[in-house]
Amino acid sequence: MEWSDHGIVLTERRHGESGAIVSLLTAEHGRHVGRVRSAQGPRTRGIFVPGNLVMASWRARLDAHLGTYTAELVTPFAARVLDDPGRLACLAAACALTDLALPEREPHPRAFAALHALMQGALDADWSAAYARWELGFLAELGFGLDLTCCAVTGAPDDLAFVSPRTGRAVSAAAAAPWQGRLLALPRFLIDPAAAAGAADLRAALALTGHFLVAHLFAPQGRAEPAARVRLLERLGRLATISGRGEPA
């Protein structure tokens, strides 16, 4: 069994003296895990770094086997953000969430395209806002998309300011008044590409997506949230975990 495909490195775990177990999100074969025989050799050092785009070849005697990877570096996205802890935290969180959430060997071309686009925009000024939008799209890719097109109460598309934590539907500021304390804030930049995203908006956006990641992904499977996303939230000034509970630091 053999194939070649573009892949984004999600995780690399040491295996044996010099090998590694590597998880890639590939364009056509989905999230796929394989073994690298020598991950620290002169030809492979620095290739299997989370966030990098590679051209990978996978081989195994049978399709059900773990198989082995060889790869060539295409774009060193990780190296581009090494001197920026904030962007590096976003990259690490995106890779960790993807590795945890997507089933192995199930094609997800839209997830690959979205993650690749996020990596390509790593040097953009509003990369944190792009990351928050990526999480919103990632929920939709998993089948848990939020309905932010109109108010769940009035049906109007205007003045959307909150989201129901139960249904994932938007609610206008006026209609939300009686239940505002029970709703999640909806930052404007998530529904208006022209809107600016301040630090408070970014925290609110990640609290919103975090609530539904916990409700639909982590809690039902008894999983802990990825440490990489916790570190990202800490960088944004939160004392809370992915669920968004807590107060700004």
- Listed residues 12, 47, 77: the one ending a domain: 77
Q: What global pTM score does this model have? A: 0.89
Structural domain count of the chain: 2
What single-letter DSSP state applies at residue 226? P
Q: Are residues 144 and 67 in the same domain?
A: no
pLDDT in tens, the chain (249 residues): 899 999 999 999 988 777 899 999 999 999 999 999 876 766 777 899 999 999 999 999 888 888 999 999 999 999 999 998 889 999 999 999 999 999 999 999 999 999 999 999 887 878 889 999 999 999 999 999 999 999 999 999 999 999 999 999 999 999 998 888 899 999 999 999 899 898 889 999 999 999 999 999 998 888 888 999 999 988 887 433 333 433 333
Q: Is residue 36 part of a domain?
A: yes
Full domain range(s) for residue 196: 124-235
Q: Are residues 68 and 139 in the same domain?
A: no
Burial state string for 117-147 with b = 16 or more CB within 10 A and e = fewer than 16:
ebbeebeeeebbbbbbbbbbbbbebbeeebe
CATH number of the domain to which 33 belongs: 2.40.50.140
What single-letter DSSP state applies at residue 169? B
Single out the residue of 186, 183, 176 nearest to residue 206, CA to CA: 186
Can you list the alpha helix ranges (DSSP code H) found in the chain?
77-80, 85-101, 109-120, 127-141, 173-176, 199-213, 219-221, 227-235
Q: Are residues 146 and 72 in the same domain?
A: no
Q: Are residues 149 and 227 in the same domain?
A: yes
Q: Are residues 211 and 132 in the same domain?
A: yes
Q: Is residue 91 part of a domain?
A: no
Q: Are residues 138 and 220 in the same domain?
A: yes
Q: Are residues 221 and 162 in the same domain?
A: yes
